[in-house]
Amino acid sequence: MDRLLTLPVAMALLLSGEFGTADEPSRYRLELGADLSYVDTNGYPSWAEGSAGKLRYDSDSDGLMLSQAYADYSLRLADTLDMHTVALLYSDDIGSTVDFSEAYLEWRPMTLTENRYRLKLGAFYPRVSLENTGPGWSSPYTISSSATNTWIAEEFRTFGTEFSISRKPEFLGGSHTLSLQAAAFYLNDPAGTLLSWKGWSDMQDPYLAPFREIDNRVGYYVNGEWVVGTRFLLRIMHYDNRADPESYEDGQFGWRTKFDHVGLQATLPGDVGLIAQWMEGSTVWGWYYQGVRAVDADFYSGFLLLTKSLDRHRLSVRYDLFDVSENDTYPLDENSEYGEAWTFAYQYRASDFATLAVEWLQIETYRDAWEYFGLEDEKTESQLQISLRLSFSSGT
């Protein structure tokens, strides 16, 4: 989150939580997790080292490491007012970093009406991912997130407010919920930089600063959601950061990024879970040159995930698709790419505190710009990751 907050703030928050008695709930909830990973990679040097690879790790970093840790902390300030903060620690070839990924207040007024109202204020992810429902934006299904949600995690954060109105299920026949969210935000003008210059990838990059306000234009998204019990969920969003593509400040450019997103989650017969997301949009930057802007790219990405849980075991498979097509004509700045990825993951929940995961990921990418590095423009990269997640929670 661009180091908006620092670790001492987190420690102060942790110490402020009171411990409750047996019946009186404590006013906080803390979830901690750490991933010990063994990684074996076969591909280009990692993008995290400023190179071309799609994967977060490369063969230099093969071996055992503490790859990620999170602290997800909620504090109840009043009966209907909560504060949420999520701190993440990342380690890879270029070192470790601790950063806040989300920090916001949520007001949940208790209204005796047919509608439910919610208000968020602060820094939070837009309502896109159906994968990253665990604490610290982790996925209950796989170790690596899809290209779509990785990009959301990297470049999108809503510094602003989201208002949500939903119809209570009992007024829609018992199991249906309809809700509508509208958000207004600041500080997301550089969104789109990474996608154009690096392309899609598998893990968040903690070293970028996509959260800046350059042109003082407020962005927005609107999202509609339909949920049927624990059987079906559909969400549709339109996002527009309304950035001025000719704006520039302190080495950061404004990227006008718009997209539409459709997410679907369903429980299929045989208790097989399905998640599908599709996102399509465009990003433009710079002045006009020969009738188009310096960078003018259309993108789409999507994935389909199937998952099955049996007692302590879970098997998941995901197919990813991603594409950037450039319309601009600047020479030596070819940012188009197309790729597909397969992910196979197995998890074993050994106890409430320990989960073992094995994941194999293969990405096949076509990217013209790789020729500038003297590389083949078509490359298949693969990664085997074995991970032990230790997790702990306390409070209510």
Q: Which is nearer to other proteins, 173 or 251 (by Cβ)?
A: 173
Coil, strand or helix at 75? strand
Backbone angles phi, psi at 150, to 5 degrees: -65, -40
Coil, strand or helix at 281? strand
| Locus of tokens 């840790």 | 69
Type of residue found at 310: L
Q: Which residues bind other proteins (CB under 8 A)?
A: 20, 22-25, 29, 76, 79-80, 108, 110-113, 116, 129-130, 133-134, 140, 166, 168-170, 173-175, 177, 227-231, 233, 265, 267-268, 271-273, 275, 307-309, 396
The distance of closest approach from Cβ of residue 77 to other proteins in the complex, given in angstroms and rounded to an integer, is: 12
Q: Which is nearer to other proteins, 186 or 278 (by Cβ)?
A: 278
CA dist., res. 217 & res. 220, Å (int): 10
Closest CA to 90 of 192, 189, 208, 191: 208
Closest CA to 158 of 82, 89, 106: 106
The distance of closest approach from Cβ of residue 223 to other proteins in the complex, given in angstroms and rounded to an integer, is: 12
Q: Where are the beta strands (DSSP E) in the chain?
A: 28-42, 63-78, 81-92, 95-107, 115-124, 158-167, 176-186, 219-228, 232-240, 248-249, 252-253, 256-268, 272-289, 292-310, 313-326, 337-349, 354-367, 378-395
Q: Which is nearer to other proteins, 23 or 250 (by Cβ)?
A: 23
The distance of closest approach from Cβ of residue 158 to other proteins in the complex, given in angstroms and rounded to an integer, is: 16
| Cα angle, residue 296 at apex, residues 295 and 302 outer, rounded to 5° | 120
H/E run at residue 8:
helix 7-16
Q: Which is nearer to other proteins, 118 or 238 (by Cβ)?
A: 118
The distance of closest approach from Cβ of residue 56 to other proteins in the complex, given in angstroms and rounded to an integer, is: 24
The distance of closest approach from Cβ of residue 151 to other proteins in the complex, given in angstroms and rounded to an integer, is: 18
The distance of closest approach from Cβ of residue 314 to other proteins in the complex, given in angstroms and rounded to an integer, is: 9
Q: Which is nearer to other proteins, 34 or 264 (by Cβ)?
A: 264
Q: Which is nearer to other proteins, 28 or 299 (by Cβ)?
A: 28
Q: Which is nearer to other proteins, 307 or 355 (by Cβ)?
A: 307
The distance of closest approach from Cβ of residue 9 to other proteins in the complex, given in angstroms and rounded to an integer, is: 24
Q: Which is nearer to other proteins, 137 or 255 (by Cβ)?
A: 137
H/E run at residue 11:
helix 7-16
Type of residue found at 233: L
Q: Which is nearer to other proteins, 74 or 252 (by Cβ)?
A: 74
Report H helices in 122-265. 147-155, 193-197
H/E run at residue 10:
helix 7-16
The distance of closest approach from Cβ of residue 85 to other proteins in the complex, given in angstroms and rounded to an integer, is: 15
The distance of closest approach from Cβ of residue 169 to other proteins in the complex, given in angstroms and rounded to an integer, is: 6
Closest CA to 283 of 155, 97, 92, 95: 155
Q: Which is nearer to other proteins, 141 or 285 (by Cβ)?
A: 141
| Locus of tokens 């009966």 | 79
The distance of closest approach from Cβ of residue 138 to other proteins in the complex, given in angstroms and rounded to an integer, is: 11
List of residues 6+ apart from 385 with CB closer than 8 A: 37, 38, 39, 40, 143, 144, 357, 358, 359, 360, 361
